[in-house]
Amino acid sequence: MIVGYPFSAVVGHDDLKLALLLNAVSPAIGGVLVRGEKGTAKSTVVRSLAALLPEVAVVAGCRFSCDPAAPDPSCPDGPHESGLSPQTRPARLVELPVGASEDRVAGSLDLERALTEGVKAFEPGLLAAAHRGVLYVDEVNLLHDHLVDLLLDAAAMGVAHVEREGVSVRHAARFLLVGTMNPEEGELRPQLLDRFGLAVEVRASRDPAERAEVVRRRLAFDADPAGYTGAYAGGERDLAQRIAAARERLPAVTLPDDALRGITAVCAAFDVEGMRADLVMARAAVALAAWEGRDEVTPGDVRTAARLALPHRRRRDPFDDPGQGLDEERLEQALSEALSPDDDSGDDGPDDGPNDGPDDDGPGGGGASGGEPADAPPGEGGGTGGRRPESPGAPYRTRLLAPEAVGRGGPAGRRGRTTGESGRAAGARTPDGRLRRLDLPATLAAAAPHQRGRGRTGSGLVLRREDLREALREGRESNLVLFCVDASGSMAARTRMRAVKGAVLSLLLDAYQRRDKVGLVTFRGEEATVALPPTSSVELASGRLARLATGGRTPLAAGLRRAERVLAAERLRDPRRRPLLVVVTDGRHTSGPDPVVTARRLAGVASVVVDCEHGPVRLGLAGRLAAALGGTAIRLEELAADHLAAVVRDVRKVA
CA distance linking residue 602 with residue 348, whole number of Å: 60
**pLDDT level of residue 320 (50, 70, 90 thresholds):** low
* Mean pLDDT of the region 178-197: 78
- pLDDT the model gives residue 534: 83
**pLDDT level of residue 240 (50, 70, 90 thresholds):** very high
Q: How many CB atoms lie within 10 A of CB 22?
A: 27
Average the pLDDT over each of 279-293, 464-478, 560-574 and give the range with the smallest value: 464-478
Q: How many CA atoms lie within 13 A of 44 on its CB side?
A: 18
Task: Decide if pLDDT at 252 tops 50.
Answer: yes
426 φ/ψ angles, rounded to the nearest 5 degrees? -125, 20
Coil, strand or helix: which one is 449? helix
CA distance linking residue 374 with residue 362, whole number of Å: 14
Q: Smallest Cα–Cα separation from 395: which of 205, 642, 195, 585?
A: 642
**E strands within 470-597?**
470-477, 480-486, 517-524, 527-535, 579-585
Asked about 276 being catalytic, the answer comes back as yes
CA distance linking residue 312 with residue 89, whole number of Å: 35
CA 357, 358, 363, 365 torsion-angle sign: negative
CA distance linking residue 481 with residue 581, whole number of Å: 6
Q: Note the pLDDT tens digit of each residue in 32-64.
A: 999 887 888 888 888 888 889 888 888 888 888
Measure the CA angle with vertex 197, ends 193 and 199; round to 5°.
65
- pLDDT the model gives residue 382: 39
CA distance linking residue 475 with residue 414, whole number of Å: 8
Average the pLDDT over each of 68-72, 467-471, 641-645 and give the range with the smallest value: 641-645
Task: Decide if pLDDT at 249 tops 80.
Answer: yes
- pLDDT the model gives residue 120: 63
Task: Decide if pLDDT at 530 tops 60.
Answer: yes
Annotated catalytic residue within 92, 170, 276, 330: 276
Amino acid at site 28: A
Task: Decide if pLDDT at 411 tops 60.
Answer: yes
- Which residues lie below 8 Å from residue 397, measured CB to CB, with a gap of 6+? 506, 510, 640, 641, 642
Average the pLDDT over each of 143-147, 466-470, 600-604 and give the range with the smallest value: 143-147
Q: Note the pLDDT tens digit of each residue in 628-652.
A: 999 999 988 888 876 544 544 444 4
For residues 413 and 563, the model is more confident at: 563
* Mean pLDDT of the region 177-183: 86
- pLDDT the model gives residue 215: 92
Task: Decide if pLDDT at 123 tops 80.
Answer: yes
Measure the CA angle with vertex 198, ends 192 and 199; round to 5°.
80
- Which residues lie below 8 Å from residue 372, measured CB to CB, with a gap of 6+? 380, 381, 382, 389, 547, 549
Q: How many CB atoms lie within 10 A of CB 65?
A: 27
